[in-house]
Every structure is written in C-alpha cells, then in structure tokens.
Chain A
C-alpha cells in the first residue's frame, strides 16, 4: 500500500481540509477534538506513518507529567488510559509489516527488527513507569515536581537526540578516533528522521515547563493535549505554539466571525504564492550553485545565495501563512512566525522577525534560565552564544548549523558591544535606515551560506570565492523563471508597503481596490507558475 503525503500544496490537502471542515461543522462540540485528533494523526501518518507512535508517546509523557507536576499522583484511571494509549500505539506501529525495519538501517549492532520483541519492550517499559510513578508520588511536592519535569523533558529530548543527533555524534567520535590513529568500529547508523519531531518536542516542553513555573494549570483531558501536540496545521513545521496560547483555543468553543473566511483564504493564498511562485522558482538557481561539483564564479555564488535567502524565507513563511490560514478556518489563531525579516536593521531586530515562535522559545526556555541579560556584559554574551549554539543545533546535526548559530550569536554580541557608540552619536534615521537594512541583509545572507553548505570544505570554498573572486561576473547558474521574478517584484512592493505602515497587513493599510490588486496578481502569478509546485517544504527536514 502506498501513501501519498498530504502536502499543503496538493489537491489531496484541499480534499482533506474540506473533509475536516465539514466534520467540524456537523459533529457535536464534545466530539470535535477527538475528530480533529484522528484527522491530525492521519495527516501526520500520510507523511510518515511509522512515527505516529512517537507522537502518541510524547503526548502521554507530557500530559501525565503535567498532572504529576501540578496536582500529584495520577488516578488509576488516568494511568490506565495513558498505558493503554502507549501500548495501543505500539501495537499499531508493529501491526503493519516493514514499519519497524524501516526505522533503522545499516546498524550492525542492532538486533534484527522484531515486532513482538518491540511490543514486549514497550509493555515492560509501561509497567516500569507505572511502578516508578508510585515511588515518585510519595516524594515531597518540590522534589516530585522536579522529577516529573525532568522525566518529561529528558525522555523527549532523548528521543529527539536519538533520531536527530546520534549519527552525527557517532560520526564525530569515529573521526576523532581516526585522528588519533584508532580504527573506529563500524557504528554507522542511518535513522529515518521523524518529520516535525523538533517542532512537537519543543511544543510539548512549553506545557510541562510552564506548569512547573506555575504559569499554567494542566488539562486532565488527554485527547485535548494530544491534539495540541499533533494539530495538523503546525505538526510538521510549526509555528511552535505555546500550550498557554493554543490549548485554551482548542478546548474552548470555536467561534467563527464574519469575514474570518476571507482573512483565512487571503493568508492561504499569500502562503501558496510565496511557496509556489517564488520559493520553488528560485530553488533551482540555489540548488545549481550549492550543488555544483566544481567551483562557481563570484556572481554565481552571490546570485545563488540571494536565491537561497529568498527560497528559505518564502518557503518557510509561506508554509506558516498557510498554517495560520488553515488554523483560522478552524477558528484557531496561531502565532505569527514572520514579520518582514529582511527589513531588519540589526541582529536583535532580525530575531524579533524571523521564525518568531522558535526565537522566542529559545529566549524564554534557554536564554532566560541561563541568566538572561543579568550578570553583566560578558555573562550576557556567554548566554547569547550558548543560546545560539543550541539554536544552530536545533536546525540539524551538522557543523555548518553550529557555525551558523555561533555566527548569529557573534553578530548579536558585536551589535551589543557597538550600541553605546551609536547612542553617543546617533545617525540620522532617514538616511541610516535603508543603509543598515541592506548591510544587515548582506550579513544575514552570509549566514545562509553557512546554513546551506553541506560541509566545512564547501563553506571554505564558497567563502574564498566571495572574497578572492570579487568582480568575476561570468554567470553560469540558471536564472529563476519570469513568473518568479514577477512574483518577487510583487512581494517586494507588498512587504515594503506593509513594513512602512508598521508591519500591518495590506488589507488594513490599503483601500480595497488597491490590496485586491495585489491578491489578483498573486492569483495570476500562481496560475503562471502552476503545475510545478514541490510538495516539500525546506523546514520539514529540521
């Protein structure tokens, strides 16, 4: 049986969404979340049916820990329900032949995949956790709260680390061994990365951490929490929602307001336009430059980098726009993830505009717990660098992401160090604004070089081309299609208008005949470039 991934840009998604909206409308309010949860699991399963088990496991761990942190021991009924969910999901996981074997490949140390053994292992672990629960329940409240929090965070981070970072770790240990003359054992591990794991793991952490900080009272309804984690508009690539923001909306009565449909469709159109017309159009140029096996000219690298910067922004913000639009169709308001990031004038400004749900997550759950801005300049800089190191690693297990994170940390530190200079001699705002925007965009683009390159050697090669080959204008990379260039011009004008008006949406800034012209051109460009839309979004791989 073959599954077709339900992508936001596919007709399958249109059918899926129509079915979900119809179901939402006809079902009684009590059954809606169960229906949405099943739909979300099916949506996720269309991408990777093997890992719905992980989604269920994470839901149960976070939810049970939330109760344990806030209230104390789980009732026998709650424990029974949690155990049944995990065992049931494990059973489904092994029920279809080939699921288990496809998770790990090429690992000589691993035992041969065995469904019965896996099921027995899961049952055993469930039993152990139930026994441990009785012990944890007897602890005094502060210790119980701490143990439950660390259990939830550690288990979920361990799952994330196993899937995302273990291969990277093993490869580097092997490289280290080779460097000191020791022949490493063949520990190559090729684990399939569960799509969206970084997003739902972090989303779940907001729940237990906020309960531990006494900023949130947990829900006793596991279905609602599981829906919060698996909610299909956000499960693959965010925005990373906070429990305190999304859960109340999922649990409350979803009220639809007049005009909401139009706003939602506008967002979906905008997202499709960014993805299909621009991101997919410029991707070929970026891929040609960064995928070339021989050295490229300076202009090739510059054009390729610009195209990648546009591809990444339009792909990811396009996805976020569609997610926001779909959420709004369901009566849910999701977090805005992008606010014209390429208009940023400095690193602090940029991180307030780019992937806002992630940058604010790291601010609230990493930077501030490390001490935040308190403790003097050097301590602040240490905390910034550590936060950005983790931010880089979040994007992927590779040294280029580490470098990219540290690069942005360094930019922020330098910006902080030179701030007093500007404060003493403030430049004239009107003249400075475009200059600083363009200059900082250049710095961001170099960051994307670090981000896009696949090895340190490639980073060195591209950087040397940028520095030593200046002026070589022999362009060999293919240019984006005309529809993408038209789309870029439209986007640039639309974003400029919106930015100048204080980052407000076009339909709030312009009269109806003006903003509808933008939407008509978007539809026209979509039709111009239709037929070649990629179902994949870049951030699915993180």
Chain B
C-alpha cells in the first residue's frame, strides 16, 4: 500500500453516523421537565419554619432559592412562629451571654469571646475546663471579623470584661465586606446585619445598615418601601450583594433553576474570595479586606487597652488553608504586642481528621485549643497583675 501523501487532498476517514438533534432534544427537554417537577414534588421544603430538620435532599434543592425567598420562608410575625435562626446574630440588643460553669461574674475575671460558632465552641470548652473564669460569648453563624468587632463595640458599651477574644477565620476574612447574613452565606441566608467598615486615609469608618435588630428587620421586611430602601443600601455598601441572588423571582419555582442559581452563587463567591485570597499563596495584603482587618485588629486592641481589658486574637485556620490567616495577621499582632492563639499551632490545617465535615474542630482538638486558650488567658491576667503590683510597689518609692 502506498504511503499517504500529505500534499495531495485526501478523503476524510469514515465517521460514525451521528443522530439528528430534533427528536432527541424534545425527549431530553421532556425528561428534564419531568425531573424538575419530580424534585419539587418529592423534595419540597417543609412549610413550617419551626421545622429545622429537613432531609439533606430537601435542603439541597432549596439552597438556590433567592435570599428574599429564604427569608420569607423562615420569617413570621413573632420569634415563636419564625425559624430559630431568625433570632441569631443581631447586634442589638447586645448578644453576649454567660456560658454557665459555676463561676460567678464579679468574683471571677470575665472573658468574652466574639466570633462565629468556632468561637462559641471554644468558649464553652474554656468554661468547662476552667471554673476560675467567668466566660461570656457573643456569636453569630459564619460571623466575619467585622461582625465580631461590631459585637465587641456593642458589648463594651454595656459591661466590662477583663479579657476580650476576637476570632478571625480564614474562610470569612475575604467576605468581611458583606453586611448581612444573606449576602455573606447564600445557602443559609441568615437575616442578621452589621455595619460596613471602610478604611479612609488609614482611619476605620463604619456605615450602619438601616436596621441592626430583629424588630427592625421585621419592620423593613414587611414594608415593601422600606425593604426597597434596604436593597438600595445594600447596593451601595455591601460588596457581596447581587440582585440575581437576592431578589425573589419566578425562577424560584423551578428546582433546576434554583440549582443553577446556586452554582452561580458558588462561582460568585469563589470570585469574591479570589480577590483577597489565593489558596496556594495566601492573602493579598494589599486587598481591601486585608487592610480593613489589620486596622480593625489595631482598633480592637487600642480600645480594649483603654478600657483596662486584655485583647486576644484567636485565629481559626480552616482545613487545607495552611496557616494563611495566621500569616496575614501575625505581623500586626507582633507589632502591637497583642496576645494570640492560632489553631495551626495545635491542629495542622492539612490534616482532614482534625476537622468535622462542617468545618469545626474535632472535639478533642477543640478541647486542646481550649486548654491553650485558658493558659494564655491566665498568663495574660497574671502578667497584668504582676505589672500592676510592680507599678504600685514602685509608686511610693518614686513618690518618696
């Protein structure tokens, strides 16, 4: 057989006969509509907002509902009728509550934790292992550092703490320009709100949303004009507000459209995170989020010290994020002499078995972190006491 000459035109190799798209396309559309209707019928989300245990599939098909749709599903006229999550995370009234451990406030040093559920779990374990400390905690689901800082500001207006612990977590740092649980976490869409922080000429400035309490939320939510104004405020101040994800529409009726919206939300979230964080390289120190976080930590320490309170920063390094969060805040903490505990020192972030599937630490790891935190708190209190003693001891001498 002669070799093929590539300089001469050659006949194409035989191809398998392929199908024409018309009829198959109609069948595919038919099946997709059937699947859509089937998913809506078999995995309908429970109508009662008090039902907090939907099946995984019910939850999965519901993730993509617009934020307003989710809020409508969970909110009723009173807290008793609404989903429990509606009451979570509000800054007003101040949310810090004591973790019961037998210690009586006023007779024991008061330690207050601010942050997300990781901070709450740590506070509970600290209270459990050390009854010489009166432990308080203010937490919100998925709380970003700006929420924690706002909660601290609210709390310090009302009560004095000997130690305050601000929690910073890798996953939430890139999202600290959000101002609402809905824009922060699309799948869950919590209604609580907090102010937006800007850095202007190296000065931290905040702009509060129209409401910071659940009463204010209900007033706005059930008043179309007020809610529209809130949306305008979000457009202006919330970096993660997206009308396609936020506003209710006819698409919410289709399970497939909801799934597509959720995938869009994930893509948007990934893009938003990528502006401040690269999973390989870590945080971009020049990003707005990194700069605001630095200013926020400095301000947190300054205010705490002015109140005679010891500031501590607890750094949560999420699974597979190395010690990026720690490396971001470490220079600021060192420069300002702020005590800190970083989870990576006890729990390597590349070890999946240290973490639960919901991103929390395994209970034994959490306990170990609590021991380290309790040690750090006791040492910091002892140092402060020693400093006071030496100051008072020196006082009469210098006066004499």
A residues adjacent to B (C-beta < 8 A):
210, 214-221, 224, 243-245, 247-249, 251-255, 257-266, 288, 291-294, 328, 331, 333, 476-478, 482, 505, 507-508, 512-513, 515-517, 519-521, 523-524, 527-528, 530-532
Contact, CB under 8 Å: A251 / B5: no
CA distance A224 to B10 in the complex (A): 14
Contacts of B3 in A (CB 8 A): 210, 214-217, 244
B residues adjacent to A (C-beta < 8 A):
3-7, 9-13, 15-21, 23-25, 27-28, 31-32, 35, 56-57, 60, 256, 259-260, 262-267, 348, 350-353, 357
Contacts of B267 in A (CB 8 A): 531
A293: contacting residue among B18, B21, B60, B350, CB under 8 A: B350
B4 → A minimal CB distance (Å):
6
Contact, CB under 8 Å: B7 / A531: no
Contact, CB under 8 Å: B18 / A262: yes
Contact, CB under 8 Å: B18 / A245: no
For this complex, 26 residue pairs linking A to B, each with C-beta atoms less than 8 Å apart, are A214-B3, A216-B3, A218-B6, A244-B3, A247-B6, A251-B9, A252-B12, A258-B20, A259-B18, A259-B21, A266-B19, A294-B353, A331-B12, A333-B13, A478-B352, A513-B27, A515-B24, A516-B24, A516-B28, A519-B28, A520-B27, A520-B28, A521-B31, A524-B35, A530-B263, A531-B263
A457 → B minimal CB distance (Å):
17
Contacts of B16 in A (CB 8 A): 263, 505, 508
CA distance A218 to B8 in the complex (A): 10
With A219-B6, A252-B12, A524-B256 as given contacts, are A260 and B18 in contact (CB-CB < 8 Å)?
A: yes
With A249-B13, A259-B20 as given contacts, are A531 and B265 in contact (CB-CB < 8 Å)?
A: yes
Contact, CB under 8 Å: A262 / B6: no
With A218-B6, A531-B265 as given contacts, are A512 and B23 in contact (CB-CB < 8 Å)?
A: yes
B246 → A minimal CB distance (Å):
17
Contacts of A215 in B (CB 8 A): 3
Contact, CB under 8 Å: A520 / B15: no
Closest A residue, CB atoms, query B18: A263
Interface centre among A263, A508, A521, A527 (most CB of B within 10 A): A527
A252: contacting residue among B9, B31, B56, B265, CB under 8 A: B9
CA distance A114 to B3 in the complex (A): 46
CA distance A262 to B57 in the complex (A): 32
Contact, CB under 8 Å: B4 / A248: yes
CA distance A264 to B16 in the complex (A): 11
A255: contacting residue among B12, B17, B24, B25, CB under 8 A: B12
Contact, CB under 8 Å: B350 / A291: yes
Contact, CB under 8 Å: A478 / B20: no
Contact, CB under 8 Å: B4 / A216: yes
9 new A-B contacts at CB < 8 Å, known A217-B4, A517-B27, A527-B256: A252-B10, A254-B12, A262-B19, A291-B350, A294-B351, A512-B19, A512-B23, A512-B27, A531-B262
With A220-B7, A530-B259 as given contacts, are A482 and B353 in contact (CB-CB < 8 Å)?
A: no
Contacts of B357 in A (CB 8 A): 478
A396 → B minimal CB distance (Å):
20
B9: contacting residue among A210, A253, A512, CB under 8 A: A253
CA distance A508 to B19 in the complex (A): 9
A3 → B minimal CB distance (Å):
14
CA distance A265 to B263 in the complex (A): 22
Contact, CB under 8 Å: B18 / A482: no
CA distance A505 to B4 in the complex (A): 30
Contact, CB under 8 Å: B10 / A293: no
Closest A residue, CB atoms, query B34: A520
Contact, CB under 8 Å: A520 / B6: no
With A216-B6, A263-B19 as given contacts, are A524 and B32 in contact (CB-CB < 8 Å)?
A: yes
Contacts of A512 in B (CB 8 A): 19, 23-24, 27
CA distance A293 to B351 in the complex (A): 6
With A252-B10, A253-B9 as given contacts, are A520 and B21 in contact (CB-CB < 8 Å)?
A: no
With A245-B13, A482-B56 as given contacts, are A217 and B264 in contact (CB-CB < 8 Å)?
A: no
A121 → B minimal CB distance (Å):
32
Contacts of A262 in B (CB 8 A): 18-21, 24-25
CA distance A53 to B264 in the complex (A): 37
CA distance A531 to B351 in the complex (A): 25
CA distance A527 to B61 in the complex (A): 11
CA distance A260 to B20 in the complex (A): 7
CA distance A293 to B352 in the complex (A): 9
CA distance A248 to B57 in the complex (A): 51
B10: contacting residue among A243, A248, A265, A513, CB under 8 A: A248
Contacts of A291 in B (CB 8 A): 350, 352
CA distance A524 to B43 in the complex (A): 15
Contacts of B5 in A (CB 8 A): 217
Closest B residue, CB atoms, query A254: B12
CA distance A517 to B159 in the complex (A): 64
A423 → B minimal CB distance (Å):
34
Contact, CB under 8 Å: B12 / A249: yes
With A218-B6, A292-B353, A531-B264 as given contacts, are A482 and B60 in contact (CB-CB < 8 Å)?
A: yes
CA distance A288 to B13 in the complex (A): 45
Contacts of A519 in B (CB 8 A): 24, 28
B354 → A minimal CB distance (Å):
10
CA distance A261 to B24 in the complex (A): 12
Contact, CB under 8 Å: A251 / B348: no
Closest B residue, CB atoms, query A244: B4
B191 → A minimal CB distance (Å):
24
Contact, CB under 8 Å: B6 / A259: no
